[in-house]
Amino acid sequence: MNSTASCWRRAPRAVALSALVVSLAACSAPGGEAGGSGGSGGGEGLPDTIKIMSINGLTGPVAFAGTNAQKGTELALEEIEADGLLDDTTIEVEFLDSAADVEEAASMASQAIADPSYAAILGPSASAQASAISPIVEQAGIPTVYVQAGSDGVLVGDYTYRLTPPATSYYAIVGPYVETQGIATASVIFNSGNPTLVQLGEETVPGLAEEFGFEIVGSTGVDVTAQDFTTPASEVANEAPDAVFLELTGPQFPTAITQLRQAGFEGEIIGFSAMGSGNLASAAEVSVDSVWPTNYTPTQADEGSQAFLEAYEATYDETPNNYAAEAYDAMWFLARGIAEAGSADRAAIQEGLDAIAEEGFAGAQGAITFDEHDARVPGVLVRWDGEAEALVEPTS
């Protein structure tokens, strides 16, 4: 075969392939016109319907967080519609169940990215899933708002936001309480497999000790799935501190508290927000008077919190928890961002969200501000009275 002739025959194919590659590159670039619009209609102004994909664990080990978050989101949607924030535009949220599956979450996110009718994503609560999808949503340029998902690698750039403030950002409110209670010594038991809990146990609490003048007399890390706390409980009982800081996962708290009391520990128990949402109910009387800082409690006095509480109880005939409050705030944040953008274009929504984050807003969690794309709230201290969370009055 004549090599010159074959070269010419291959040229048109090469040109066509090059054109395809160039157009694909244009489609995948963040904010690119071809792939950046969400909702039908597109272009100038808001379309009739804006589609959002919600990816969360509605079944599986994080189902409690996911199902409560769904209620918060649905309540927010009702209010946004009634409020007329987006005029005649309706937000349609598609709730998809990623269970505990990282691959499932990534597949759903890819589906949203590829389908231009989705304007944004409400991301999964589980950090493993969130940090798996963050790079792909960032690269594709689709605004994604998370709740919970507190680990590193979740907020990776311009298109990712989080409405659950990290516990380390408000944990310091425990300090004045510790001082008022005259706590001079403390032990720490922390879950060594969870980055947030490790940070609380190894850095935050020791930092508080230095600032508020109490001594850490013992610190023990337990396995991520530890079920039995007899040994660390005995250690704490031997140390006999005035207080013990427990930085554990929700299901671990009742057992840890029960075994601490069985071991003879009589001091204060100070925990972390995972103590809430009814996780202490099974520990009955032994968990009474446990105290923890949290980003949300139903009894907090902020106007936004009270309005949320009233609306939630009227709608669902039950008291909301932090998962519902955070998701409620996330949906309102996204709706405000869309209103600010005046468009369902993904890049425009991202800019709208940035503008809202700069101003902050009042939500179910109280006054919400942002440190870059990460929410911040003042936090509240609560005490478990055996049946419900009661607000601990702030001390100076």
Residue 230 as a binder of other proteins (CB under 8 A): the answer is yes
Residue 385 as a binder of other proteins (CB under 8 A): the answer is no
Query: 275 Cβ partners below 8 Å, 6+ apart?
Result: 246, 250, 253, 290, 292, 384
CB of 18 to other proteins, least distance (A): 48
Closest to other proteins by CB, 19 vs 284, is 284
Angle between helices 303-316 and 322-341 (to 10 degrees): 110
Say if residues 199 and 127 touch (Cβ distance below 8 Å).
Answer: no
Query: 378 Cβ partners below 8 Å, 6+ apart?
Result: 170, 173, 366, 367
Closest to other proteins by CB, 64 vs 328, is 64
Give the interface segment with other proteins, choosing from 235-243, 294-302, 308-316, 335-343 (CB under 8 A): 235-243
Residue 62 as a binder of other proteins (CB under 8 A): the answer is yes
Whole-angstrom Cα distance, residue 350 to residue 71? Answer: 25
| Residue selected from 195, 207, 251, 378 as contacting other proteins according to rule CB under 8 A | 251
Closest to other proteins by CB, 118 vs 323, is 323
Q: Give me the DSSP letters along 51-83.
A: EEEEEE-SSSTTHHHHHHHHHHHHHHHHHHHHH
Say if residues 277 and 64 touch (Cβ distance below 8 Å).
Answer: yes
Give the interface segment with other proteins, choosing from 44-52, 106-114, 252-260, 294-302 (CB under 8 A): 252-260
Say if residues 200 and 188 touch (Cβ distance below 8 Å).
Answer: no
Type of residue at 22: V
Residue 192 as a binder of other proteins (CB under 8 A): the answer is yes
Give 216's strand partners.
Answer: 186
Residue 63 as a binder of other proteins (CB under 8 A): the answer is yes
Task: Round to the nearest angstrom and report the end-to-end CA distance of the chain.
Answer: 90
Whole-angstrom Cα distance, residue 254 to residue 217? Answer: 23
Residue 254 as a binder of other proteins (CB under 8 A): the answer is yes
Residue 187 as a binder of other proteins (CB under 8 A): the answer is no
Distances (CA, A) of 229 to 109, 226, 236, 285, 290: 39, 7, 10, 18, 17
Give the interface segment with other proteins, choosing from 61-69, 144-152, 299-307, 308-316 (CB under 8 A): 61-69
Give the interface segment with other proteins, choosing from 35-43, 108-116, 260-268, 340-348 (CB under 8 A): 260-268
Based on the number of CB atoms within 10 Å of its own CB, is 113 exposed (0-12), middle (13-18) or buried (19 or more)? Answer: buried
Closest to other proteins by CB, 15 vs 224, is 224
Give the interface segment with other proteins, choosing from 74-82, 84-92, 157-165, 221-229 (CB under 8 A): 221-229
Say if residues 173 and 379 touch (Cβ distance below 8 Å).
Answer: yes
CB of 265 to other proteins, least distance (A): 11
Closest to other proteins by CB, 68 vs 350, is 68
Structure tokens at 42: 């597109």
| Residue selected from 37, 259, 297, 305 as contacting other proteins according to rule CB under 8 A | 259
Count of positions on this chain that bind other proteins (CB under 8 A): 42
Whole-angstrom Cα distance, residue 364 to residue 367? Answer: 8
Residue 227 as a binder of other proteins (CB under 8 A): the answer is yes
Residue 281 as a binder of other proteins (CB under 8 A): the answer is yes
Residue 169 as a binder of other proteins (CB under 8 A): the answer is no
Residue 264 as a binder of other proteins (CB under 8 A): the answer is yes
Closest to other proteins by CB, 180 vs 225, is 225
For other proteins, the binding residues in 125-164 under the rule CB under 8 A are none
Query: 118 Cβ partners below 8 Å, 6+ apart?
Result: 38, 51, 52, 53, 112, 142
Residue 70 as a binder of other proteins (CB under 8 A): the answer is no
Residue 220 as a binder of other proteins (CB under 8 A): the answer is yes
Residue 231 as a binder of other proteins (CB under 8 A): the answer is yes
Residue 64 as a binder of other proteins (CB under 8 A): the answer is yes
Beta strands in 169-249, from DSSP E residues, in sequence order: 185-191, 215-222, 243-247
- In the complex, the residues that contact other proteins under the rule CB under 8 A are 59-64, 67, 192, 219-223, 225, 227-228, 230-232, 234-235, 237-238, 250-251, 253-255, 257-259, 262-264, 277-279, 281-284, 286
